Structure 1
Amino acid sequence: MKVYADYAATTPVKPIVTEKITEILSEHYGNPSSIHSIGRDGRKYLDQSRREIATLLGANPNEVIFTSGATESNNTAIKGIARKRKHLGKHIITSRIEHHSVLHVFEELEREGFEVSYINVNDEGLVDLDELKQAINPETTLVSIMLVNNEVGTVQPLYEIAEILEEQNIAFHVDAVQAIGHMPIEFDEMPIDLLSMTAHKFGGPKGIGALLVKKGIQLDTFIQGGEQELKRRAGTENVPYICGMASALAVANEHMDENNVHLMNLKEKLIVGLQQHAIPFELNGSMVDTTGHITNLYFPFIEVETMLTLLDMANIYVSSGSACTAGSTLPSHVLEAMYGEHERVKQSVRFSFSDLTTEEEINYIVDAIMKIYNQFKEEENE
């Protein structure tokens, strides 16, 4: 058996999405900026997909900016707000457990002269709200906090964060990459100003994403050369992939409730299965403020590189954290922020599931880990 359990890194493209992309590529290839009939045909599908995505996310179509993915969306939001509002203040805030497409942008802005506050989290990965409150000052113009952590699955208290920012003229950006398809998103009702997403995390293609921007929020754009996306992001729109993203989002939203029940059952089955076999482990993160698709576990008996290698040899494909840091020997910055210099930082594995994951696959994972544990026990006793 082969078990893919790294869906937080990427998901396979759903068949209906592939069909839609193929249709647009072959039959509706016009440049949507061209004024002739072929171009207007491309524009029709672009506008239709924009409306579909906006409706599914509770946004206005004019609030949707198409990008190449979450990294560009995060860069656009953070740099765009910080630089546009620097005359109001040069203090910006984020947490220590953000994705590197957020943290590295803050580090770049820091080198430009911005003051950055990096907010700590507790051992479940929840942002310290008191520290956030104390960090805000009259120069603060932006707060960027992710909705669902990509390594441990912790869900941040967005409404409590927004309450702290209320009436302070501070833009609130949310990286919602791991939330789409797992949590209902109603952008018009959420107390946030900008939201990043990418299609390949919920059954869409890689290389396409979006940034939602509330009406009235002004950005300093940094991709120049065209009038596309209401002059906010130059470059010919990737119409086939945008249509594919719309199809993937529709499927994800339609089956969200049943998928979430399925995923929480799988998470529980994995944890209970390990407990029944007396395999030593600890959960990283929260079992309450979490999504079902990510489970991060600390195994005290083995280094993570060895565990990943042995699981791979058993045809089980998982990771130790973000796919963007794959191959790095550095410990997880997320786990370091949560636990400090604890050995679990280098001995933890992320399992991430989807609607395609079966109970049989969970049993296979448990059995494989049991064999690995028994092997290490035997070696210790020799």
Structure 2
Amino acid sequence: MIGWEDVYKVVVAVVPLYVALVLGYGSVRWWNIFNKEQCDAINRLVCYFTLPLFVFEFTAHIDPFKMDYMFIAADTMSKIIIVLVLALWAKCSTKGSFCWSITSYSLCTLTNALVVGVPMVKPMYGPLGVDLVVQSSVVQAIIWLTLLLFILEFRRTRIEGMTTTFQPKSKPKPIIVINNNNLGGGGGKDVEVATNLNEEFILEDNNSDSASSRLPFCKLMKHVWLKLVMNPNSYGCVIGISWAFISNRWNLEMPSMVDGSIQIMSKAGMGTAMFGMGIFMALQEKLIACGPSLTVYGLVLKFIAGPAAMAISAIAVGLHGDVFRVAIIQAAVPQSITSFIYAKEYGLHPEVLSTAVIFGMIVSLPVSVAYYAVLEFIH
């Protein structure tokens, strides 16, 4: 049973993240150290340098030959269930939208397992829980964060293509086209904003099927893949897991010079990500930038929908005992910081993701303890 000492260990793991968050917030709101352009530059530093190296560092040190593939299968199935449900919602519901499906996917599936999940499950299930959480983090980095990156790049490339299509040669005032999607079921208009040639264009009328306003699909996919090839986030997890297979197969060690070069940047990954989140919060008018209704929406998806999908998948593949319990609890770990960094970089609901990270880390401990107590009755 988890005790006060174990709770303290979780708090010790989480508090440094909030220190970095407060420093980022204060550097803009209280001390006026950074301006808007400098804040954007900090976010790009995190997105393209520290996070890719952080992902590479932890994936490169796992043993892929000793992974629990039934556990991985359950985790994969749960995310496929969520993707299918969101796709149907976006396609069939009048309140559904592609953009909110992407954000909902992040909220349901992507967790901050390494920073919060490991210290949380260690007192509950010991080395077994830690091992499984690390495995889920590796799979998340290789498959699910890469999928998110692909979808975000697809969306941005499509918007940029439409910007080029709509832009007249004489370059007069920006052309404005309104997207009539409902804002995640909350009413209003979902407005896409793209920047091209230093001008802002509000784009994408979902009610228009004009072929002239869209790039051909093959050309669109070519642009997306080229951009992904140039994005270091695409390489971090792939090279990391490739090295993990090679090093564990032939008992090789990474040269100390290479390892040191990677670690000096990767160790700053989570700290700079939280610092960037604090900066983003400071630039908003309100502390809870997305409002209370979307805050509740994000917490419900993270702590109820995600674990529910995992429970269905775990039962379907036949997990039992502590492996089943860890599968449920790791799905209720708070929001991935990386998902916020991507949302900020690609301009898709960063206020929702930042709120999910901040409040998720606050409520995750009592929620996880509640899940732990309930799951103890399941044999």
Q: TM-score range by the shorter chain?
A: under 0.3
Please identify which structure carries the higher strand content. Answer: 1
Q: Which has the higher contact order (CA 8 A, sep 6+)?
A: 2
TM-score normalised by length of structure 1: 0.26
TM-score normalised by length of structure 2: 0.26
Please identify which structure carries the higher helix content. Answer: 2
